Amino acid sequence: MTKVNETTAVKATDLTETPKEFVAMKIFSSAESAMTKAAIAAGRRINRLRNFDFVAKVKEERGDVPGWVLVVLMTTGLVTAIWTIAAPRLTAILKNSLDAMNGIR
């Protein structure tokens, strides 16, 4: 049994007995059915998004501003500390790479 999609199955023997035009129409109709189902599902998802009230959810959620400020400051401090320690070595790596590329010419 050759499976065309989840809803329609065509037997291998049916393909030899049925004219090619009808087989193509069966495949086309099953593809059309699948596309219709997908369009209906997409429409339902869009309607759910339209009914979702984003503004009310944003007003409801105040957030944790001091927590985010702390995260940003700690990240900035870590990047600055690592950059200060690694800057000479990163500069040397970049210079060596560029010199090697100039030597290719």
Residue 7 and residue 57 in one domain:
yes
Q: Which two tokens stand for residue 65?
A: 């501003």
Q: What is the pLDDT of residues 10-54, one digit of tens each?
A: 555 545 565 566 565 666 677 778 788 888 888 888 887 777 776
Q: What is the pLDDT of residues 46-93, one digit of tens each?
A: 887 777 776 676 666 666 778 889 999 999 999 999 999 999 999 999
- CA torsion, points 94, 97, 98, 104, in degrees to nearest 10? 180
Residue 22 and residue 56 in one domain:
yes
What pLDDT sits at residue 89?
94
Number of domains making up the chain: 2
CA atoms within 13 A on the CB side of 83: 6
CA atoms within 13 A on the CB side of 17: 5
Residue 51 and residue 68 in one domain:
no
d(CA 37, CA 29): 12
